[in-house]
Structure 1
Amino acid sequence: MKTLTKALVAGCFALATTGAAPAQDNPMVGGAAMSADKDIIGNAVNSADHTTLVAAVKAAGLAETLQGAGPFTVFAPTNAAFEALPAGTVETLLKPENREMLVKILTCHVVAAKAMAVDVQKMVADAGGSHVIETLGGCRITAELQDGMVALTDETGGVAKVTIADVVQSNGVIHVIDKVLLPKS
């Protein structure tokens, strides 16, 4: 597992550009401009499409971590992705007694490296079509290309597609995804 993480970090930094991209180069997310000068939380709170994610990050006590130096890659599920979970799941996870499970799920969306889309695509190509990525939560997600887009398969077999890539942050990068990645139970 450590080898996978080292390979991810090495692959990410081999191709990643240095320095922050100008804010005007970032795509709009949730109707808001994303500033490369702000950290992950500083931008996410402005996205109308990520209010559930932000609430979950705060409830899990992870906001301070994602405001840290990083670098981080965050695969950020939209509100619609959370709404697609079985009824009552989000409400249950947000309860204080379920904080441990909430932390596990959220950290399955975070990688301790800055991986731009081109980096992930190269890792997938170099690995023969799929590349396993270990997350901060200890989850193993498999990246592949589907119709020219990065798709991530979680430990339960669920597949999330990157819908907006390369949203540069001061402490990493966000890739917006259309499904919540889940750990195996």
Structure 2
Amino acid sequence: MDSPVYGVSTKLFFSALVIFLFFSPTTALLQNPSSKSGQINSNSVLVALLDSHYTELAELVEKALLLQTLEEAVGKHNITIFAPRNEALERELDPEFKRFLLEPGNRKSLQTLLMFHIIPKRIGTGEWPDEKSGSVKHETLWDNHVHLTTNGGSGKKTVDSAEVIRPDDVTRPDGVIHGIKQLLIPRSVQEDFNRRRNLQSISAVLPEGAPEVDPRTHRLKKPAAPVPVGAPPVLPIYDALAPGPSLAPAPAPGPGGPHHHFDGMSQVKDFIQTLLHYGGYNEMADILVNLTSLATEMGRLVSEGYVLTVLAPNDEAMAKLTTDQLSEPGAPEQIIYYHIIPEYQTEESMYNAVRRFGKVKYDTLRLPHTVVAQEADGSVKFGHGEGSAYLFDPDIYTDGRISVQGIDGVLFPEEEAVKKPASAVKVATKPRRGKLLEVACRMLGAFGQDSHFRSCH
């Protein structure tokens, strides 16, 4: 006979205790004290998600503080969760993008990303559209849309660009979880990440308001007459360059003067970000932003109405530069100046020019040197002999003011390219002089000239 405990039998008391210990930990994870639904139980799809092998996704859901929102969604209707495998979030995701998602200030972007993986409707493999139906659009919990399709030949099921690798992986009365191969990234989150990229500001902001000297009269410049918006600059681009090696300083008035009708700084930031996203041109971007003030100077020139074409060597080409070539004062600036053409050229315009004229000389910002372009192998080749470079990635960035053309080599003026073999020969002859000296010392030792032999050693 069961002994009563405060009017309740012992068997009934322990049954209640087991139920409390079994359900309370999971319920505490999901329920917020302010939540009024109270409909989540141990058989919920949310509990299954937190206890499943999709640990990376479950961790992001907890960090995004989405449990109460998902609890309310489950209370209203069934849901379908597309869960990326752990490797897609742990190893295959861009570390910089992951840091961006986990920053407290970007919680809204993380919530948008996660809600993009949830449809407020139960869609099992049986309800998936077949090959004849084509792509079917479904609205997610964040008012975006995903498209479910079945590939014709293989019969593979996909959601947007991600393949479903574990269909109906977890099924519960209030929802289903499908395992997918990769993370789904909505356009709004990708654009937000691009805007907050690490390129926060361009260095070496030039001072404003200092007295300016007219390069033609060498006197203080008087206030310039207003120039119509969009009109060409008053002075040549060389007179507008900032102080630099062998260049005379003289800022030029631009179209609209200090009002900057051309937002050159934003355009320069945009093209440098494009280099980073394109990939393979990180060294060029690093020189422009961190090693020199050329990015700021280019932004000011574009703001004043000038146009530029940048011949950007890729990382493989930049890696061949030696320490001696970069260590001299002003060397990085001189190298980049030779890769900037004060014209707006695209792949089509340069190719048409070399096809028509054979060889074309373009002025560069490294006075008085020019860079020669000619047709070669159906493309455009710049430079001379071994120091030449081909147009490798055409039209990486073209916005009407700045044009960026990727090349596969670092260019040098012809005069400097000729000097390189002489220095190489000089280095090659040094071991020979050492061998001759060693032979002479041995001969002196053989003839008994001990004093000379010791001096040789």
Q: Could you tell me the TM-score, scaled by structure 1's length?
A: 0.69
Question: What residue number does 1:12 align with?
Answer: none
Aligned to 2:84, which of 59, 77, 87?
77
Structure 2 counterpart of 1:140, one-letter code: H
Residues 163 and 107 of structure 1: is their aligned pair in 2 closer, same or farther, counting only changes over 3 Å? same
Q: Is the 8 A contact 2:129 2:136 kept in 1?
A: no
Match 1:183 to one of 177, 186, 190: 186
Give structure 2 stretches of 5+ with no counterpart: 1-41, 192-457
Instruction: Quote the Cα distance in structure 1 between the aligned partners of 2:88 and 2:145.
Output: 19
What's the counterpart of residue 136 of structure 1? 141
Distance 1:40 1:66 in 2: 10
Partner Cα separation in structure 2 for residue 91 and residue 43 of structure 1: 27
Query: Aligned match of 1:109 in 106, 117, 122?
Result: 117
1:117 Cα deviation from its structure 2 partner: 1.3
**Which has more helix, going by share of residues?**
2
CA distance in 1, matches of 2:65, 2:79: 17
AA of the residue aligned to 1:161? E
Partner of 2:108: 100
Instruction: Work out the CA distance in 2 between the residues paired with 1:94 and 1:39.
Output: 27
Structure-2 residue corresponding to 1:19: none
- What aligned pairs does 1:18-37 form with structure 2 within 5 A after superposition? none
Verify: 1:58 aligned to 2:62, yes or no.
yes
1:26-51: CA deviations, max 9, x gaps?
Answer: xxxxxxxxxxx622221122223x11
- Please say if residues 39 and 66 of structure 1, whose CA atoms lie closer than 8 Å, have aligned partners that are also in contact: no
Percent of aligned pairs with the same amino acid: 29
- Aligned residue type for 1:165: P
Shift >4 Å, 4+ stretches:
none
Q: Name 1:161's counterpart in structure 2.
A: 163
> Is this contact kept in 1: 2:80–2:118, CA < 8 A?
yes
* Counterpart residue type for residue 118 of structure 1: G
Map Cα deviations across residues 39-82 of structure 1 (whole Å, 9 max, x no partner): 2221122223x111111111111123334323101111111121
Instruction: Pick the structure with more strand per residue.
Output: 1
User: Once the 2 structures are TM-superposed, how far is the Cα of residue 138 of structure 1 from its aligned partner?
Assistant: 2.0
Indicate which of 144, 148, 151 corresponds to 2:158.
151
Work out the CA distance in 2 between the residues paired with 1:174 and 1:111.
11
2:105 is matched by which residue type in structure 1? E
Question: Is the contact between residue 40 and residue 66 of structure 1 (CA under 8 Å) also seen in structure 2?
Answer: no
Q: CA RMSD in A?
A: 2.0
- How far the C-alpha of 1:86 sits from its partner, in A, is 1.1
1:150 deviates by 1.1
Q: Is 98-107 or 166-175 further displaced after alignment?
A: 166-175
Q: TM-score, normalised by structure 2?
A: 0.29
| Counterpart residue identity of residue 106, structure 1 | L
Q: Secondary structure of 2:95's partner?
A: coil
Assess, with a 3 A threshold, how the Cα gap between structure 1 residues 46 and 149 changes in structure 2: closer, same or farther: same
Q: State whether residues 129 and 135 of structure 2, in contact with CA within 8 Å, keep that contact through their aligned partners in structure 1.
A: no
